[in-house]
Amino acid sequence: MKANKFPGKKCVALLLDPDKTREKSLQNILQIAENCHTDFIMAGGSLTFSSIDQMIDDVRKHCNIPVVLFPGNLLQLSQKADIILLLSLISGRNSELLIGNHVIAAPFLRNVKHKLVSVGYILISCGSKTSVEYISQTEAIPSDKPDIVVATAMAGEMLGLSLIYLEAGSGASNTIPPGIIRSVRENINVPLAVGGGIRNKKEVEEIFKAGADLIVLGNGCEKNPNLLTEACSVRDKFRLSE
Ligand code: 1GP
């Protein structure tokens, strides 16, 4: 993210699926998020049946954490978020997700340009096929081809994208391998986000240690809300040593 939006230190984001956030459970997880000083609440998904605007309103009722829009498609665009990720799926070759949708979105987004963060979104195959792979109709980069991931991230940075996001996919059976994160970290200077399949504290530690600046947690926190507290305490330890 741009310097003014990204604190320049390790961060944790909680990704909420608008379809799975009933009022009571939303209130619980947001209370936990606030208590452990979660840096961002992310809203969005590959396919949603519920309104993103409504979810952002609900989140704001219960906490003051900045909301980051993570739009899975044009129907999820909202001007209500504090930060809007302008995602380019640079691991794929679907031109709509590289430029087509951006052209359609530009007039809608022109009044909120200050909220935009351009993101090189890189999907890496870490087990079974994920929703984002199917919905985007793109092929993920195989996890045993780190050189392709590194070159893709480098190209994204050279094109001027302000954040690289390594994505294993929501509910992925394995996280992005730390070796890939390390190699990407060594070859780019922009902030690096990592998400997908992170389920325990050890994985959070490994991913931060490998060089991630921002860790995105979704399903793991739905099943075990304590994971968010653990991830934030790992983040705090890294911040102390930064
Ligand atoms: C998905 O990276 C995020 O875009 C989070 O994935 O739900 O598997 O944590 P999980």
Q: What string of pLDDT tens digits covers the 242 residues of the chain?
A: 554 577 779 999 999 988 877 777 899 999 999 999 999 999 998 888 888 999 999 999 999 999 999 999 999 999 999 999 999 999 999 999 999 999 999 999 999 999 999 999 999 998 888 899 999 999 999 999 999 999 999 999 999 999 999 999 999 999 999 999 999 999 999 999 999 999 999 999 999 999 999 999 999 999 999 999 999 999 999 999 98
In angstroms, what is the span from residue 96 Cα to ligand 1's centroid? 22
Structural domains for the chain: 11-241 (3.20.20.390)
Mutate to test the pocket of ligand 1, among 20, 124, 133, 219 (most ligand atoms within 8 A of CB): 219
> What would you report as the CA-atom Rg of the chain, rounded to the nearest whole angstrom?
16
Residue 154: Cβ-neighbour burial (10 angstroms; 0-12, 13-18, 19+): middle
The answer to whether residues 21 and 44 touch, using CB atoms and an 8 Å cutoff, is: no
Selection from 151, 40, 49 nearest residue 85 by Cα: 40
Ligand 1, residues at Cβ distance < 6 Å: 15, 167, 170-172, 195-198, 216-220
Helix ranges (DSSP H) in 110-145: 131-136
Written as one letter, the residue type at 107 is P
Q: How far apart are CA 217 and CA 233, in angstroms?
A: 14
The answer to whether residues 29 and 229 touch, using CB atoms and an 8 Å cutoff, is: no
**Phi then psi dihedrals of residue 173, to 5 deg:** -75, -25
Helix (H, G, I), strand (E, B) or coil at 184: helix
The answer to whether residues 33 and 218 touch, using CB atoms and an 8 Å cutoff, is: no
Q: How far apart are CA 103 and CA 9, in angstroms?
A: 32
Residue 100: per-residue pLDDT: 98
Q: What angle do CA 117, 119, 120 make, to 5 degrees?
A: 165
In angstroms, what is the span from residue 196 Cα to ligand 1's centroid? 4
**Residue 231 vs residues 17, 34, 49, 205: alpha-carbon distances, Å:** 19, 13, 29, 8
The total of other beta-carbon atoms located within 10 Å of residue 6's CB is 20
Q: How far apart are CA 123 and CA 133, in angstroms?
A: 8
In angstroms, what is the span from residue 194 Cα to ligand 1's centroid? 9
Q: How far apart are CA 115 and CA 95, in angstroms?
A: 24
The ligand 1 atom at the shortest distance from the C-alpha of residue 46 is: 4
- Tell me which residue has its CA closest to atom 4 in ligand 1: 170
In angstroms, what is the span from residue 180 Cα to ligand 1's centroid? 17
